[in-house]
Structure 1
Amino acid sequence: MIKWALAPVVDTNTRLLILGSLPGDASLAAGQYYAHPRNAFWRLLGQIVDRDLPGLTYPDRLVALKTAGIGLWDVIAGGERKGSLDAAIRNAEAANLKALIATLPALRAVGFNGALAAHTGRRLLGERSGLTLIDLPSSSPAHARPFEEKAAVWNRLGMTLR
């Protein structure tokens, strides 16, 4: 089954862009980034922006991210995948990251949520002068690292927002 990425969540004030691979089934069904209830994404970012993001409605989460200068998108625009695991993605179509980044004048850093996002995103972006590229452990519940270990790495994103 072919699955397509959600629209980017960015504006001209985006200083940090967080890129995932391709939304999972729960996110696609809800039309929301990181909708699976066990995905740690909103908890991890809540620590960075000092807000209870999981306690907010989805639209309010997006407002909080934009206010903090954070944008979201994926490195894969579409592809075939049964289920939600990155390892199951076949015939991936790359997102046009360079075109999106060209519209973000305040962008300082890109965070890659998981190994596939990092591998694909770094290949697509190549050497980008002036951007800090940060590989992050996946926020997915399928990536079984303790929350505290993930948070220790994700918290580095806060430095890019200052």
Structure 2
Amino acid sequence: MLHSFAPIQSPRARVLILGSMPGAASLAAARYYAHPQNRFWPIMGALIGAGPELEYPQRIEALRAAGIALWDVLAQCEREGSLDSAIRDDTAVANDFAGFFADHPHVATVLFNGAKAEASFRRFVLKPLARPDLTLLRLPSTSPANASQRYEAKLSAWREALRAAGVAVREA
């Protein structure tokens, strides 16, 4: 059984970015988005200054300073390898979102890092959560498995979503 990480959070968070479950490289490193080909940190670097050139704790602080929380939909699951498509939904257990949102009342936007994160949230979390006020938006996955979309297109989509959520982002 795989277990995800604690959320990266701040009392000032207005945006929650959700993945599905950390991949093997992230689990081994005990860090979000640790696979060297994952585009999450380069995108965050371009948009809010939380790039891979910074040490991991500095990246986390940059997220917090921007009002961004980071977590995964699933607390645990079984999966062979790292692909989201290999997650066994019959073993999936969602994180405690009722508790998270109670502790973070300013979070108004949830951005999903890919289709599996969105599908898992809608399946395991949304109905019991009953938060019709949340803005939910699926973004292109930053995973290396999503190689069909160019980096520039991903960056543009993430920039637009963060800007719409009220995050001060760097211009192109």
TM range (shorter): over 0.9
Letter in 2 for 1:141: P
Give yes or no for contact 2:50–2:63 (8 Å, CA) kept in 1: no
**Corresponding residue of 2:25:** 26
Code of the aligned partner of 1:113 = N
| Structure 2: 5+ residue stretches without partners | 168-172
Cα distance in 1 for partners of 2:120, 2:78 equals 16
Given residue 32 of structure 1, which amino acid in structure 2 is its aligned partner? R
- In structure 1, list runs of 5 or more residues that go unmatched: none
Which of residues 53, 66, 71 in structure 1 aligns to 2:64? 66
For 2:126 and 2:103, how far apart are their aligned partners in 1? 14
Matched, 1:157 2:162: yes
Measured on the aligned residues, the alpha-carbon RMSD in Å equals 1.3
Identical-pair percentage: 47
Match of 1:88 among 71, 86, 89: 86
| 1:94 Cα deviation after fit | 1.5
d(CA) in 2 for partners of 1:113, 1:52: 16
Q: Deviations over 1:71-130 (max 9, x none)?
A: 110001101111100111111111222221111022121100110101111331245233
Is residue 2:145 matched to residue 1:142?
yes
Contact 1:48 1:158 in 2 (8 A): no
State the secondary structure of the residue aligned to 1:12: coil
Q: How does 1:22-61 map to 2 (within 5 A)?
A: 22-49=21-48, 51=49, 53-61=51-59
**Aligned residues, how many?**
160
Q: What TM-score do you get using the length of structure 2 for normalisation?
A: 0.88
Amino acid at match of 1:57: E
Change (3 A) 1:7 1:47: same
Matched, 1:125 2:131: no
